[in-house]
Amino acid sequence: MTRIKILALLIIMSITSAAGAADTTTQPPREVRLKIVETSDVHGNFFPYNFITRTPWNGSMARVATFVDSLRSSDGPESVILLDNGDILQGQPTVYYYNFVDTASRHIASEIYDYMSYDAATIGNHDVETGHKVYDRWIEATDVPIMGANVIDTATGLPYLRPYTIIERQGIRTAVIGMLTPGIPMWLPEPLWSGLRFEDITTSAQKWVETVRRKENPDIVIGLFHSGYSDASRRPGLTENACLEVARNVAGFDAILGGHDHQRANRIVTNPEGRPVVLLNPANDAKAVGVLDITLSIDSDGTIIDKRITGSLADVDTLNPSPEYMSHFGAQRQAVENFTGRIIGRSEGLFDSSESLFGPSPFMTLIHRLQLQLTGADISFAAPLSIDAVIKPGDVRVSDMFGLYKYENMLLTMKLTGREIRDYLEESYSIWVDTAATNPGRHLLLFRSKRPSANDNRLRNPAYNFDSAAGIEYTVDITQPKGKRVNITSMADGTPFDPAHTYTVAVNSYRGNGGGDLMTRGAGLSKEEMKQRTVASTDIDLRYYMMKEIEKNGTITPTTDHNWRFVPEALADSLSETDRKIIKGH
């Protein structure tokens, strides 16, 4: 072999050896696994006990604590991110007590966030419903960032709350952008949200995802939106449930965690760049949590070369409550139990909200009479806020009042003409009652299913929008279409009812601000007109006045003001008998 060939061979061997050495030092991609856990619409369900029905309760934050503790133990604390999606300050008496009764102690919702080491939360519409004093105190009392990028301070034009937060785990930067459904001005009186305005979620999401990606260079971007999956029927100027719209139309999100509509969702949607976006919603009452499983492959220079995200919904309602959690919050639980267990009077009979679907009932008569008494109005509008509330004969406790009246609504007095009152009722009964003329022999009620049964008895629309009236005499013809059903014959005292006359009307604050569309689609009032027509408002919720009235009188007796009825009566009675069995499950 010549000298030149030997030299060439040595060079080749040297290169091969160097390459081999390089191969042995090349680092394989680093793999990082994260789990993001979401709660939403907890509504004060902090304990495995329902303080309204005074019975054991599925779900609850006590069970979520068990689930999260287990994850942190198995995967490590640095692998778990915990988020809440709002509507935590309304629902169970646990939060009412710390919202309005014990305002000196630290708010229990704030303490739960810190105790469970939440990383971030978004404000919900029912949190805003508690008013500035309550939600500002809740926000200030926790170390957890409460977000709302589209909640704008009108004085500064800047977000009133933190728009986003950056959470670092295992060297990975996760950006969480918080948003709130913007329908607040349509549902709540302005004093509750004074100084604020609410931007469209999609518009705000586009702005903030671009800002966050430019300024923060995150590895993962999550939308934490107190908004539902999709709006089936959009109102002009409002997209209430925008998660699907944002996922499809706004590039930059890896996942969007929803809430608000109390509907479970686990979907994958393609964004404008052709990338998958995971959509999750664990529904309400802390019976389930949403879980994002994230796996990242990271090159030696820190570049993410692969990102895999899957979503799941994990039921927690069968888990044992965390003993440590229950012990830590034992004093708070006892305080709430003492509050709700207090006897305020006695019931001489049964009050059953489900009977309100079929005509006048003791349940609705009690509410109507109180509204008329408190306001001195000519007419009262009210709805059963749930169809499964019952006050049984015997002692009436504070807890019973949360079943009787579910929400913290104020009581308004408004001015409406007789024609507007009739149109308002036409709208109410159109979403409540089927049309027997076009569907003979079917049902009185509008069910969601074409073949409703005791196992599928969901109504097409929420019963809290089924307003009836007191102070007037009227009939509702179930054989006629919307617009020709309601016939008001007189005032309750027998004097004539005049379509051109202006009457004072008692309504709750949700309705008086356009909630349920009875004032807008029905009476035909704009938002500005509703403001102008409001002549008075209570400064405390209606439930408070109900409790005080029962305490003052000592007893409540089931009586019914039969001031309205369905006609033809024989047909209505027959359909009611069928539907009553479906609603009651027997």
The number of C-alpha atoms within 13 Å of 27 and in the hemisphere containing its C-beta is: 10
State residue 25's pLDDT score.
Answer: 52
* Blockwise average pLDDT, block size 10, the chain, 586 residues: 42 39 63 97 97 93 98 97 98 95 96 98 96 96 97 98 97 97 90 95 98 97 96 75 97 98 96 97 98 95 92 97 98 98 96 96 95 97 91 94 87 97 98 80 89 91 96 97 96 98 96 93 94 92 91 94 97 94 86
Both structure tokens of 215:
């300024």
Pick the CATH number of 343-584 from 3.90.780.10, 3.40.50.450, 3.90.1300.10, 2.40.50.140: 3.90.780.10
What single DSSP character describes residue 233? S
Secondary structure of residue 187 in the 3-state scheme:
helix
pLDDT of residue 404: 83
Distance CA(65)–CA(168), nearest Å, equals 22
| Predicted pLDDT of residue 440 | 63
Domain 30-336: which topology?
A: Purple Acid Phosphatase; chain A, domain 2 (3.60.21)
Q: What is the SS3 assignment for 457?
A: coil
Residues ≥6 apart with Cβ < 8 Å to 259:
40, 41, 85, 86, 87, 122, 124, 225, 226, 227, 228, 281, 282
422, with CB counted inside 10 A (0-12, 13-18, 19+), is buried
Query: What's the chain's length in residues?
Result: 586
For the record, the structure tokens of 574 come out as 């027959």
Collapsed DSSP state (helix, strand, coil) of residue 340: helix
Tokens of 139: 């926000």
Give the gyration radius of the chain's Cα atoms: 29
Instruction: Select from 355, 374, 407 the least CA-distant residue to 95.
Output: 407
Q: Cα separation of 354 and 51, whole Å?
A: 21
Contact 279, 255 (CB under 8 A): yes
The token pair at 458 is 């969901």
Taking a C-beta distance cutoff of 8 angstroms, is the pair 378, 470 a contact? no
Residues 6+ away with beta carbon under 8 Å from 255: 36, 222, 223, 277, 278, 279, 280, 292, 309, 311
CB of 48 within 8 A of CB of 60?
Answer: yes
Whether the CA torsion 10, 13, 17, 22 is positive or negative: it is positive
Q: From 511, 465, 534, select the one nearest 186 (Cα to Cα).
A: 511
Is the omega angle on the peptide bond into residue 48 within 30 degrees of 0, that is, cis? no
CA 495 vs CA 246, 324, 485: distances in Å: 54, 65, 21
Q: What's the distance, Cα to Cα, between the start and end of the chain in Å? A: 102
Which residues does residue 346 pair with via DSSP β-bridges, in sequence order? 395, 555
Contact partners, residue 137, CB within 8 Å, separation at least 6: 103, 107
- Whole-number pLDDT of residue 450: 87
Question: Which residue type, as a one-letter code, is found at position 36?
Answer: I
- Residue 207 CB neighbours (<10 A): 15
The pLDDT value given to residue 21: 42
**Buried b vs exposed e over 323-356: b needs ≥16 C-beta within 10 Å?**
eebbebbeebbebbbebbeeebbebeeebbbbbb
Domain boundaries, the chain: 30-336, 343-584
Q: Do 351 and 404 touch, CB atoms closer than 8 A?
A: yes
pLDDT of residue 20: 42
Rounded to 5 degrees, φ, ψ at 286 are: 55, 40
**Both tokens of residue 298?**
């990271």
Cα separations in angstroms, 484 against 121, 429, 477, 492, 570: 48, 11, 8, 21, 19
Pairing of strands 343-347, 394-397: antiparallel
Element (H, E) at 18: helix 3-25
Q: What is d(CA 162, CA 202) in angstroms, rounded to the nearest whole number?
A: 18
Copy the structure tokens of residue 86: 């709002």
